[in-house]
C-alpha cells in the first residue's frame, strides 16, 4: 500500500509501485523463504553513504536467501517499468541500472569486511534494514508470523559472530517491466560488469499471470489493508552465472562484521541520482529488538520528498509535457482500437517546448508513420504540398480529377506564417469533407493526419484554431530543463549522465532556454575533454571527462568563458540594469540606442529575462528598475533568484 504525506501519488510513483508489486509476485511464484528489503529508507540511505564510494547511487531492492552449503546469496535488484511495449532509452537505462546495482553491491561487500572504522555501523544498519523488512505486513497474520520465524533464524545465522560464519555471494538482477509487450519473459546475462548481473523482462502475459496469483497461496487472507512491498524474490535457473563475488564472514569487534573474499575488484563508481520511474516506499514506524524479532507493526521506511533523478520520461519518451503525452497516447490507442482517424492537432506553445519532437513521436511511436515536415515560413504555395506528397509516394505520378491521398502525417511548424493561399487550402483539407482543390485536381485528405504547431496563435483565424484539436504545451520548469540536459549528456558521454546539481547549474546559467541549454553541452564537454587530455597525457574516456564535469567546475566555466552569473545574467543584462538606475524609467528605443542593440528581437529576449526575474518592470513610462533590481546591483555577490528562472508559473 502506497502512502504519501499529502495529495495523490503521481504517475511515476504509481508506475514504479506496479513494477515493484510485479517483482514481489514473481518472487512469490518461486522461492517462498527469500527476504527482500527496500533500499529507499532513511537507514538504508545512511548505510549506503558509509560505503566505499559516495553512496548516492542505489538499486531498488536487495534479496537475501539461503544458498547451498550453508552459504547466503544476496541479490541487488533494480526495477524499470513502462506502460508501453518497449522501454524508452533501454540501453542507457540498463547501463544506469547496472551501475546502481554495482554501487549497492559494493556497500554490501564492504559491510561484510572487518577493515575500517565504519564496519560495525555498516553491519548494524544493514541488519536494521533487513529486520524492518522482515517485520512488515505481507498478508494474513498467520502467514506473517510463520514467515518471520523463518526470516528471523536466517538473519541470526547471517549476522552470527561465530568463527565459522557462512560465505555470502553477491550478484544482481535488472527487472524490465514492459506492460504492453507481447513477447515472452526472458532472462539474459549482462556482460562486462563488476559482479554477475542478469536482465529479466516481465511482459504483458507474465504480468497478467502474476497479478492473478494469490500471494498467500490459498492460505487465510486478511481483509485488512497490507503493505504490498516486495518481500520475496524467486531464484530461477539461468538467471545468474556461477561467477559471483563472495564474502567469507569472520569474527569482528563490531559484532556483525565479515571479511570479504573476492577475486573481483572492489572499485566501484559513484552515481549522483535516483531511479527514473520507481516510487517511494512509505510505511508506519515501530520498534525493533534484533534480527530475530517478530514485530506486529509496520516499520518506517523513510520518505523521499525530493525530486527523482534521473528524471522520469513521459509516455512518449520525452521529459516534461507529461499530461499531454499521456492524453495523446490514450487518443492514439482509441483511434487504433476503434479504427478511427487520429484527430488533427494544433500544438500551441512558446519556442523550444518540444512541438517538433512531439510531432515526430506521435507519427513514429503512435501512428507508425514517417512525418512529412514543413516550416510555415517556407510554405509559400499550395503546390509545394503536392510536390512533397508526390516525393513521399502518397499520390499517383500524374494526379487528375479527384485523387485520394494515401495515409500519412503532415506536420507544419509555425503554421501562422503560411501564406493566405496556403491557409485557405489547409482549411478545406481540415473540414469535415477533407477535400481541397490545388490546381485542377481535387485532393481527398480523409486518410491524412495534420499536426500543426504555432508559437503565436493570435495570428491564426478562428476557423484555423477551431478545426484541429488544440493542445496547449507548457514551458519547462528548471527541473525539467535540467532533465533535458541530462538526457543529452547521456548521449554525449555514453554513461549515466551528469548529476542533477550539474544539470541544474547548466539550465540556470542558460536561463532555462531549451535549445541554448542543450547546445552549450558541446563546447562545455569539449573544454573538459581538453582538461582531461592535458592532465592524463592521452585521449581520455567519456567517463573520465564526465567525472570532471561537476557543479563547481561548470559554474567556474560559465563565469570565465560565458560571462554569466549563477542566475544566467550576462554583462549585457547588468549594463541594462545600470542604465535604468542612472536614467530612470526609459522607453524601448532609448534603451536600445544606449545599449547599441539594433535587432529588436535581441532586445526583447534581454528584457523578457530581466522581467521574469523581477529585476525590471514595464509601465506607462517605459521600463524601470525594481527594488530587487537595485539590490542586485549593490549586493556583494549575486542574489539567488533561481526560483524565478523557470518559464512556467506553477
Look up the CATH number of the domain holding residue 585. Answer: 1.10.10.10
3-class DSSP state of 247: strand
- Residues 461, 484: one domain? no
Which residues fall within 8 angstroms of residue 648, CB to CB, at 6 or more apart? 474, 475, 476, 477
- Residues 620, 579: one domain? yes
Helices (H) and strands (E) in the chain, counts: 21, 18
How large is the average pLDDT for residues 299-315? 53
Picking from 119-133, 165-179, 397-411, 416-430, which range would have the lowest pLDDT averaged per residue?
119-133
- Residues 29, 167: one domain? yes
Residue 129 located in a structural domain: yes
- Residues 98, 175: one domain? yes
- Among 217, 240, 263, the domain-final residue is 240
- Kindly tell me if the per-residue pLDDT of 161 is higher than 70: no
- pLDDT band at 266; cut points 50, 70, 90: very low
Q: CA 572 from chain center: how many Å?
A: 35
pLDDT score for 204: 84
- pLDDT band at 254; cut points 50, 70, 90: very low
- Residues 46, 166: one domain? yes
* 590/125: higher pLDDT: 590
**CA 82/CA 314 separation, integer angstroms:** 10
Domain that holds residue 593: 571-644
Picking from 307-311, 477-481, 501-505, which range would have the lowest pLDDT averaged per residue?
307-311
How large is the average pLDDT for residues 588-604? 93
Residue 161 located in a structural domain: yes
Most confident of 60-64, 215-219, 571-575: 571-575
pLDDT score for 50: 62
- Residues 194, 217: one domain? yes
- Among 183, 215, 240, the domain-final residue is 240
- Kindly tell me if the per-residue pLDDT of 250 is higher than 80: no
β-pairing verdict for 435-438 and 186-190: unpaired
pLDDT digits (tens, 9 = 90+) for 286-302: 233 333 333 223 223 22
pLDDT score for 395: 92
- Kindly tell me if the per-residue pLDDT of 257 is higher than 50: no
**CA–CA distance from 316 to each of 343, 371, 395, 421 (Å)?**
17, 16, 30, 34
Residue 165 located in a structural domain: yes
Residue 281 located in a structural domain: no
Work out the percent of the chain whose per-residue pLDDT is above 90.
36
- Residues 56, 112: one domain? yes
pLDDT digits (tens, 9 = 90+) for 393-428: 999 988 889 999 998 999 999 999 999 999 999 999
- Kindly tell me if the per-residue pLDDT of 622 is higher than 50: yes
Residue 302 located in a structural domain: no
- Residues 50, 79: one domain? yes
Instruction: Name residue 442's beta-bridge partners.
Output: 402, 437
Which parts of 135-211 fold into alpha helices (H)?
141-158, 204-211
CATH code at position 513: 1.10.8
Average pLDDT, the chain: 78
The values of phi and psi at residue 616, to 5°, are: -135, 160
- Kindly tell me if the per-residue pLDDT of 371 is higher than 80: yes
pLDDT score for 548: 93
Q: Nearest-CA neighbor of 412 among 344, 477, 365?
A: 344
Query: Omega into 411 within 30° of 0, i.e. cis?
Result: no
Picking from 131-140, 151-160, 374-383, 585-594, which range would have the lowest pLDDT averaged per residue?
131-140
Which parts of 258-382 fold into alpha helices (H)?
322-337, 355-361
- pLDDT band at 107; cut points 50, 70, 90: confident
How large is the average pLDDT for residues 627-643? 92
* 366/569: higher pLDDT: 569
pLDDT score for 365: 72
Our count of domains for the chain comes to 4
- Kindly tell me if the per-residue pLDDT of 642 is higher than 90: yes
- Kindly tell me if the per-residue pLDDT of 391 is higher than 70: yes
- pLDDT band at 196; cut points 50, 70, 90: very high
pLDDT score for 233: 28
Residue 348 located in a structural domain: yes
In degrees, to the nearest 5, what angle opens at C-alpha 181 toward C-alphas 180 and 183? 155
pLDDT digits (tens, 9 = 90+) for 447-475: 999 999 999 999 998 888 889 999 998 88
- Residues 347, 467: one domain? yes
pLDDT score for 268: 26
- pLDDT band at 138; cut points 50, 70, 90: low
Residue 613 located in a structural domain: yes
- Residues 482, 553: one domain? yes
DSSP output for 439-508: TTEEEE-TTEEEEEEES-GGGS-HHHHHSSEEEE-PPPPHHHHHHHHHHHHHHHHSSS---HHHHHHHHH
* 290/149: higher pLDDT: 149
- Kindly tell me if the per-residue pLDDT of 228 is higher than 70: no
- Residues 167, 87: one domain? yes
- Kindly tell me if the per-residue pLDDT of 627 is higher than 60: yes
* 65/262: higher pLDDT: 65
- Kindly tell me if the per-residue pLDDT of 649 is higher than 80: no
- Kindly tell me if the per-residue pLDDT of 3 is higher than 70: no
Picking from 69-78, 123-132, 172-181, 513-522, which range would have the lowest pLDDT averaged per residue?
123-132
Most confident of 46-55, 162-171, 566-575: 566-575
Work out the percent of the chain whose per-residue pLDDT is above 70.
76
pLDDT score for 30: 65
**CA 635/CA 127 separation, integer angstroms:** 51
pLDDT digits (tens, 9 = 90+) for 37-55: 888 776 666 767 666 655 5
- Among 472, 494, 522, the domain-final residue is 472
- Kindly tell me if the per-residue pLDDT of 482 is higher than 90: yes
- Residues 195, 88: one domain? yes
pLDDT score for 428: 92
- Kindly tell me if the per-residue pLDDT of 272 is higher than 60: no
Which residues fall within 8 angstroms of residue 547, CB to CB, at 6 or more apart? none
- Kindly tell me if the per-residue pLDDT of 481 is higher than 50: yes
CATH code at position 327: 3.40.50.300
How large is the average pLDDT for residues 567-582? 95
pLDDT score for 495: 65
Location of C-alpha cell 519547462: 476
Q: Give the number of C-alpha atoms closer than 13 A to the C-alpha of residue 269, restricted to the C-beta side.
A: 20
**Residues 347/359, Cβ–Cβ less than 8 Å:** yes
Cβ atoms < 10 Å from Cβ of 293: 16
pLDDT score for 165: 65
Instruction: Name residue 470's beta-bridge partners.
Output: 346
Flag whether the pTM goes above 0.75: no
- Kindly tell me if the per-residue pLDDT of 8 is higher than 90: no
pLDDT digits (tens, 9 = 90+) for 65-91: 888 777 888 999 999 988 888 888 888
Picking from 119-123, 533-537, 642-646, which range would have the lowest pLDDT averaged per residue?
119-123
Residue 615 located in a structural domain: yes
pLDDT score for 49: 66
Q: Is the dihedral of CA 549, 551, 553, 559 positive or negative?
A: positive
How large is the average pLDDT for residues 193-197? 90
- Kindly tell me if the per-residue pLDDT of 590 is higher than 90: yes
Amino acid at each position: 500500500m502506497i502512502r504519501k504525506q499529502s495529495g495523490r501519488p503521481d504517475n511515476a510513483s504509481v508506475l514504479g509501485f506496479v513494477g515493484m508489486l510485479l517483482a514481489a509476485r514473481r518472487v512469490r511464484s518461486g522461492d517462498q523463504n527469500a527476504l527482500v528489503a527496500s533500499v529507499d529508507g532513511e537507514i538504508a540511505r545512511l548505510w549506503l553513504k558509509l560505503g566505499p564510494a559516495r553512496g548516492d547511487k542505489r538499486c531498488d531492492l536487495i534479496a537475501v536467501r539461503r544458498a547451498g552449503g550453508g552459504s547466503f546469496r544476496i541479490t541487488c535488484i533494480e526495477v524499470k517499468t513502462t506502460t508501453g511495449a518497449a522501454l524508452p532509452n533501454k540501453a542507457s537505462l540498463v547501463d544506469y541500472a547496472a551501475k546502481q546495482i554495482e554501487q549497492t553491491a559494493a556497500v554490501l561487500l564492504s559491510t561484510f569486511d572487518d577493515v575500517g572504522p565504519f564496519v560495525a555501523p555498516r553491519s548494524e544498519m544493514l541488519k536494521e534494514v533487513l529486520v524492518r523488512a522482515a517485520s512488515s505486513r505481507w498478508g494474513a497474520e498467520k502467514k506473517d508470523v510463520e514467515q518471520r520465524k523463518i526470516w528471523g533464524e536466517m538473519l541470526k545465522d547471517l549476522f552470527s559472530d561465530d568463527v565459522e560464519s557462512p560465505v555470502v555471494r553477491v550478484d544482481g538482477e535488472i527487472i524490465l517491466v514492459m506492460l504492453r509487450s507481447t513477447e515472452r519473459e526472458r532472462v539474459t546475462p549482462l556482460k562486462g560488469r563488476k559482479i554477475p548481473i542478469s536482465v529479466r523482462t516481465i511482459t504483458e502475459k507474465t504480468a497478467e499471470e502474476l497479478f492473478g496469483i494469490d500471494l498467500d497461496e490459498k492460505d487465510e487472507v486478511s481483509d485488512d489493508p497490507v503493505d504490498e512491498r516486495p518481500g520475496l524474490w524467486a531464484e530461477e535457473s539461468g538467471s545468474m552465472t556461477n561467477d559471483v563475488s563472495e564474502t567469507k564472514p569472520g569474527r569482528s569487534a563490531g559484532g556483525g562484521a565479515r571479511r570479504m573474499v573476492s577475486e573481483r575488484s572492489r572499485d566501484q563508481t559513484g552515481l549522483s541520482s535516483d531511479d527514473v520511474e520507481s516510487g517511494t516506499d512509505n510505511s508506519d514506524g515501530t520498534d525493533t529488538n534484533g534480527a530475530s524479532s517478530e514485530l506486529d507493526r509496520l516499520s518506517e521506511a523513510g520518505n523521499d520528498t525530493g525530486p527523482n533523478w534521473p528524471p522520469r520520461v513521459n509516455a512518449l519518451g520525452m521529459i516534461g509535457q507529461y499530461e499531454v503525452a499521456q492524453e495523446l497516447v490514450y487518443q492514439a490507442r482509441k483511434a487504433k482500437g476503434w479504427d478511427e482517424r487520429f484527430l488533427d492537432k494544433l500544438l500551441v506553445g512558446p519556442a523550444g517546448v518540444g512541438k517538433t519532437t512531439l510531432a515526430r513521436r506521435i507519427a513514429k511511436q503512435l501512428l507508425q508513420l514517417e512525418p512529412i515536415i514543413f516550416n510555415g515560413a517556407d510554405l509559400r504555395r499550395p503546390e509545394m504540398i503536392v510536390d512533397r506528397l508526390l516525393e513521399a509516394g502518397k499520390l499517383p505520378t500524374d494526379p487528375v480529377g479527384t485523387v485520394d491521398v494515401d495515409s500519412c502525417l503532415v506536420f507544419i511548424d509555425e503554421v501562422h506564417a503560411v501564406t493566405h493561399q496556403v491557409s485557405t487550402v489547409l482549411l478545406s483539407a481540415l473540414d469535415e469533407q477533407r477535400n481541397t482543390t490545388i490546381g485542377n485536381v481535387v485532393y481527398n485528405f480523409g486518410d491524412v493526419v495534420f499536426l500543426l504547431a504555432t508559437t503565436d496563435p493570435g495570428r491564426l483565424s478562428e476557423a484555423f484554431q477551431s478545426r484541429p484539436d488544440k493542445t496547449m504545451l507548457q514551458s519547462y520548469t528548471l527541473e525539467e530543463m535540467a532533465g533535458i540536459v541530462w538526457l543529452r549528456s547521456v548521449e554525449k558521454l555514453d554513461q549515466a549522465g551528469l548529476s542533477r546539481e550539474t544539470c541544474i547549474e547548466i539550465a540556470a546559467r542558460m536561463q532555462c532556454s531549451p535549445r541554448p541549454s542543450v547546445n552549450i553541452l558541446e563546447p562545455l564537454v569539449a573544454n573538459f575533454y581538453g582538461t582531461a587530455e592535458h592532465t592524463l597525457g592521452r585521449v581520455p574516456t567519456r567517463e573520465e571527462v564526465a567525472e570532471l564535469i561537476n557543479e563547481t567546475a561548470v559554474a567556474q566555466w560559465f563565469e570565465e568563458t560565458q560571462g554569466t552569473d549563477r542566475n544566467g545574467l550576462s554583462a549585457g543584462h547588468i549594463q541594462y540594469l545600470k542604465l535604468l538606475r542612472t536614467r530612470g524609467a526609459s522607453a524601448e528605443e532609448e534603451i536600445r540606442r544606449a545599449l547599441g542593440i539594433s535587432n529588436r528581437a535581441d532586445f526583447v529576449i534581454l528584457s523578457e529575462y530581466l522581467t521574469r526575474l523581477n529585476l525590471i518592470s514595464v509601465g506607462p513610462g517605459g521600463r524601470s528598475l525594481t527594488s530587487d533590481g537595485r539590490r542586485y546591483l549593490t549586493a556583494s555577490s549575486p542574489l539567488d533568484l533561481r526560483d524565478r528562472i523557470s518559464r512556467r508559473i506553477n
